[in-house]
Structure 1
Amino acid sequence: MSPVAPGVDPEHERPPARHFYSRLCGLLSKTSLVLAIFGLLGIIVSVQVQVIGRYVFNDTPTWAEALALQLVLYVTALGVAVGVRDAGHIGLESLVSLLPEAMRLKLEILIHLLVALFGGIMVQSGILWTRLKWDELDPMLHLPVGIDYLSLVIAGVLIVLFSIEHILALVRGEDVVPSWY
């Protein structure tokens, strides 16, 4: 059985989801976490290059700040998506837990549908802005500005996939096991 979160009644714990789709989402989530860690390391290196360039050589590389900002977008996007899968987002769990089981299930499904809708809007808007800005070049990185908005698309797709996973788990009476387990 999966570990019981603080404040959760162990008698109402559901079995972990083990079907293919849940395993796929778990793999996507773990991969996103690993990529976010590498992104954080890239941010650290990029900021160090800025500091050393500025204070040691009195010549800051122009690409270092732009790269750090680019990496922040992707680390944030991946972190938000993983937070949705691992239920790390803000919720009103205490109010939902007071409802009868049937009502609680319907409300939890509604919440995940709304989160999926938000992810879908992120995808749609991200695609629009990626296409609109793809022909503009970032003067510091010499990459298309549309890459900035591609992070919205990636996060939105992952949010939709992870919300569907939660809905399937709720309907099947299962729990989504967080990525770090």
Structure 2
Amino acid sequence: MSHAPVSHETSGPEPDNLRTTVNTPGALGLYFSVNAFLSRICLQVAVIGTLLIVAAVLYQIFGRYILNDSPAWTEIFALVVMLYTTCFAAAVGVRDGRHIGMDSLLNLAPPVFHLLADIIVYLGMIIFGLAMAWSGSELAVEMAPYINPGLPISQAWSYVPLAVGGLLIALFAVERIVAAVLHIKVIPSWH
């Protein structure tokens, strides 16, 4: 099993001796390996989800314009799968450091400001992720008795990705803070 390493993005050339999560020993290395595994699973779910969305939309078009009998389930199916795809891909984006950021002023600042900015950003992501997980869980529980129109599944399945994605965002943001403080390189999940 290959492990996707963790990297702290730095401006300029990276030192050759920068540790990665792959070569981090002990419990911390295990923590990084578990996060890398979870991130790869999320990425695979997002890719499969994208393919399922495309298939559902194509089937909807085929049913509507060729068969003249539009299937009722394809729209809600595509919407539910899009929630999973988006939330899991967002979590991978946090772990891989691919979130939106404005580095122009930070590039002129000393390295200690880079570290402080990273910590502040990832602390915000932890708070956001935990709030998303809490709210998604509450909504899933409240909506569990209701069935989606057109697709015979509970409406709770539309809120589960918010809960899981929020938890993963928080987990991966903690990893990014640890990696930044210890100067450990996070290698993206898709490598």
TM-score (norm 1): 0.90
Give SS of 2:104's match. helix
Give SS of 2:20's match. coil
Deviation, structure 1 residue 146:
1.5
Cα deviations by residue, 1:116-140 (Å, 9 ceiling, x for unpaired): 1110110111111111111111021
Partner Cα separation in structure 2 for residue 131 and residue 78 of structure 1: 20
Deviation, structure 1 residue 3:
9.6
Match of 1:10 in 2: 14
Q: Any unmatched runs of 5+ in structure 1?
A: none
Match of 1:151 in 2: 161
Deviation, structure 1 residue 7:
5.7
Change (3 A) 1:55 1:112: same
Deviation, structure 1 residue 171:
1.9
- Root mean square deviation of aligned Cα: 2.4
Task: After TM superposition, list the pairs within 5 Å mapping 1:124-163 onto structure 2.
Answer: 124-163=134-173
Equivalent residue for 2:125, pick from 115, 122, 125: 115
TM-score (norm 2): 0.86
Higher helix fraction (1 or 2):
1
Match of 1:70 in 2: 80
Identical amino acids, percent of aligned pairs: 34
Larger RCO: 1 or 2 (CA < 8 Å, sep 6+): 2
Give the conservation status (yes or no) of the 8 Å contact 1:4–1:10.
Answer: no
Change (3 A) 1:130 1:3: closer
Give the letter for the 2:34 counterpart.
L
Change (3 A) 1:2 1:26: closer
The runs of 4+ residues in structure 1 deviating greater than 6 Å are 1-6
Partner Cα separation in structure 1 for residue 118 and residue 35 of structure 2: 19
Equivalent residue for 2:44, pick from 34, 41, 52: 34
